[in-house]
Amino acid sequence: MFCNQCEQVAKGGGCIKIGTCGKKPEVAELQDLLIYSLKGLSLFAVEGRKNGISDPEVDKFTVDALFSTLTNVNFDPDYFVNLVTKSVELRERLKAKVSLNGGNVDSRDHAAEFIPAQSIEEMTKQGKATTITPNEVNADVSSLEQTTLYGLKGIAAYAYHAQTLGQTEDTVYAYIHEALSSMLNKDLTLEDWVKIALKCGEINLKAMEILDAANTGKYGHPVPTEVPLGAKKGNAILVSGHDLYDLEDILKQTEGKGINVYTHGEMLPTHGYPELKKYAHFYGHYGTAWQNQHKEFAQFPGSIVMTTNCLQKPHDSYKDNIFTCGVVGWPGINHIQDHDFAPAINRALELPGFSEDVPGKTVMTGFARNAVMGVADKVIDAVKGGDIRHFFLVAGCDGAKPGRNYYTEFVEKVPEDCIVLTLACGKFRFFDKDLGNIGGIPRLLDIGQCNDAYSAIQIALALSKAFGVGVNELPLSMVLSWYEQKAVSILLTLLYLGVKDIRLGPTLPSFLSPNVLDFLVKNYEIKPITTPDEDLAAILKENAVEA
Ligand code: FSO
Ligand code: SF4
C-alpha cells in the first residue's frame, strides 16, 4: 500500500505497511482500485455530458464512493469490493447510453475497460497495480494531481451532505468527472494541473455553498446557543460525525422514548439550528474531538452513532454500542440501514444511561454567518473605534500529534482586544475557555463545523465589503490546522479566492513537492506555523505597520 493523503501519514511521507489511521493494505488497495474505476467511469460521464446525457445515479455514486475513501470514513474491505463492482456496472451502462446517443466510447484506456476480478485477493492485486506513488521524474505534476484528488475527496464530502438533503449542482458533478478523467491523460502539463487544482478550489466553494443552502434551508440559520457539557439522568445516544439529516432522524425516532441525545465532536454546532434545537430531548455535548473517541466512547453509558468521519478502530469495550451509517463502516460493526435507527435506539435502552444528572460547564455555539452579520454594525463600530484590534480565524482539524498544542497556546495568548473565530474540530483545544467579550461581542465565536467553512468565507467577504478593502487588507489572519482531505479542498478554495498569508500546521502536507510548495509560498505567502509567540508578534506587527 501507499497512502499519503492525510496529516497523520507515517514518517517518510507515506503509509506503506498499515495506515496510522488503522487502514489495512487490503483496504488501501481496494480504495485505489475504486478510484481507478471512477476515473474510467468519469471518461464516459464527461463524454455523456458533451452529448447531453447526465446520469444522476452515476453522479451520486461518484460522490459517495469518493467520500468513502476519505480518511477515517470506511475500513471495510467488502464495502469497497461492492463499490468497485458497482462502479464498473455503472460504467458499462453509461457507455452503452453514450454510444446510443452518438458519443465516442472508443477509449482504449485500461480504466475504461477493466473487469474486476472475482475474488477479493485478486481484486486487491488489481488495486495494487493502480496505486499511485509520488513520481520522482515528474514530481510537480504528480504533486498537483494528488492535491487535486484529495481536494476532490473534500468536495465529495460536502456534496454528499448536500445531496442527502436533496441539494445538487451539476457543475460540481461535472468538475469531479472532468478532474478524475484528466488523471488518465498523461499529456497534461504543469500549467494544466495548476488550473485544474485551482478550479478544484472554485468548485469546492460551490459545493460548500449548496451544503450551506441545504442545511440552513432545512434547519434554519444557526443562532447563538448555550450548550451544556454535563449530562442528564436517563438513557442516552451519542451522535458523532457531521450529518444533520441523520441527527434529525435520530431525534425524531427517539422522541418520547426517554432517551436524551448528545452530540460528540463535529456535531456540537448542530445545537444552534432552530429546527434541531426544538427537540426537548436534544440535550447537550459530550466529549471533545475525534482522536479522543477511544476514551470518551468507552465511558459513554449509551449507544453511539457515527454518521461520517472521523471513525477510529472501535475498542472491544464499546464495539457492541457503536453503530455506523451512510458511507461509514468498520468490519463487524453494526451498520444502520435505510435510516432506521431502531438498533441503536434499542441498544441505548438496554444500556444503563446516566444514573444521575452530571453537572458541567456550558459552551456557546451558533455564530454562523447570519448571526455574525446580524451584529455587523456593532463589530464594525468596535473595529473603527479601536476596541477590536484584530480577528484570528483559528480553524481546522484536530489530531493526535503533540504539536497541535500550538493552537491552544495561540488562543490563550491572543491579546484581549482581539476576537477569535473558530470552526471544525480543532476548536476542542480551546472551546471551553472563557475568553470574555468586547462590548458584548464574545471573544470566542464558534462558526460551526469544518462543513461551515463557507460561513467563515462569507463573514470575511462581508467584512471586506463593509470596510471597502480586499480580504487580504482586513485585520484578519488565518491560522489553520489540517488533518484530512476536506481541509485540502478548503485550502484550495482560499487560494482560488486569492487569500494570502495563511499560517498552516501542524506540519505541511507531504504530497506537496518542493516546487509546488515554493509556488504557494511565493504566490500566496503560505507559512508553516512556528511558535504562538513568534506568529502572534509577526501578525500583529504586520498589521500595525499596515494600519
Ligand atoms: Fe474534524 Fe475529522 Fe470535520 Fe475532518 S472530525 S478532522 S476536517 O475529518 O471533518 O473537522
Ligand atoms: Fe496513512 Fe492518513 Fe492514508 Fe491513513 S489516511 S493510510 S493515516 S496517510
Atom of ligand 2 nearest to the CA of 28: 6
What are the angstrom distances between the C-alpha of 359 and each of 236, 281, 380, 483, 491?
16, 17, 38, 33, 39
Grid cell at residue 290: 475525534
Are 183 and 330 members of one domain? no
Are 411 and 534 members of one domain? yes
- Kindly report the pTM of this predicted structure: 0.97
Domain membership flag for residue 369: no
Please tell me the number of the ligand nearest to residue 424's CA: 1
Query: Domain range spanning residue 168?
Result: 25-218
Instruction: Choose the residue to mutate in 327, 481, 483 for probing ligand 1, maximizing ligand atoms within 8 Å of C-beta.
Output: 483
CATH code, domain carrying 313: 3.40.50.2030
- Overall number of domains in the chain: 3
Q: What percent of the chain stands above pLDDT 90?
A: 96
Question: What's residue 214's pLDDT?
Answer: 98
Non-local CB neighbours of 368 within 8 Å, separated by 6+ positions: 216, 221, 222, 269, 272, 447, 448, 452, 455
Domain membership flag for residue 14: no
What are the angstrom distances between the C-alpha of 136 and each of 32, 77, 141, 519?
20, 30, 10, 18
Quickly state the pLDDT bin for 542 (edges 50, 70, 90). confident
Domain membership flag for residue 17: no
Which of the listed residues 196, 218, 240 is the one where a domain comes to its end? 218
In the chain, the amino acid numbered 24 is K
Domain membership flag for residue 16: no
Give yes or no for a contact between 524 and 502, defined as CB atoms under 8 angstroms apart: yes
Answer yes or no: is pLDDT of 546 > 70. no
d(CA 82, CA 87): 8
Are 341 and 474 members of one domain? no
Give yes or no for a contact between 483 and 507, defined as CB atoms under 8 angstroms apart: no
Domain membership flag for residue 239: yes
Which of the listed residues 198, 218, 238 is the one where a domain comes to its end? 218
Question: What's residue 108's pLDDT?
Answer: 86
Nearest of 99, 114, 108 to residue 37 by alpha carbon: 114
Answer yes or no: is pLDDT of 50 > 90. yes
Please tell me the number of the ligand nearest to residue 265's CA: 1
Q: What is the mean pLDDT of residues 433-439?
A: 96
Which of the listed residues 172, 191, 218 is the one where a domain comes to its end? 218
Beta strands in 368-495 (DSSP E): 390-396, 418-423, 437-438, 441-442, 444-448, 476-481
Domain membership flag for residue 446: yes
| Mean pLDDT score of the chain | 97
Give yes or no for a contact between 67 and 160, defined as CB atoms under 8 angstroms apart: yes
Non-local CB neighbours of 518 within 8 Å, separated by 6+ positions: none
Question: In this structure, what DSSP letter does residue 255 have?
Answer: T
Are 205 and 112 members of one domain? yes
Non-local CB neighbours of 290 within 8 Å, separated by 6+ positions: 72, 240, 265, 266, 309, 310, 312, 398, 425
Answer yes or no: is pLDDT of 547 > 60. no
Q: What is the mean pLDDT of residues 481-488?
A: 97
Are 445 and 510 members of one domain? yes
Nearest of 379, 420, 444, 369 to residue 539 by alpha carbon: 420
Residue 480: φ, ψ to 5° = -110, 150
Answer yes or no: is pLDDT of 545 > 90. no
Quickly state the pLDDT bin for 137 (edges 50, 70, 90). confident
**Ligand 2: residues within 6 Å at CB?**
3-6, 8-9, 15, 19-21, 23, 71
In short, whether 490's Cβ falls inside 6 Å of ligand 1 is: no
Tens digit of pLDDT for each residue in 151-210? 999 999 999 999 999 999 999 999 999 999 999 999 999 999 999 999 999 999 999 999
Grid cell at residue 98: 453514450
Nearest of 243, 247, 232 to residue 278 by alpha carbon: 247
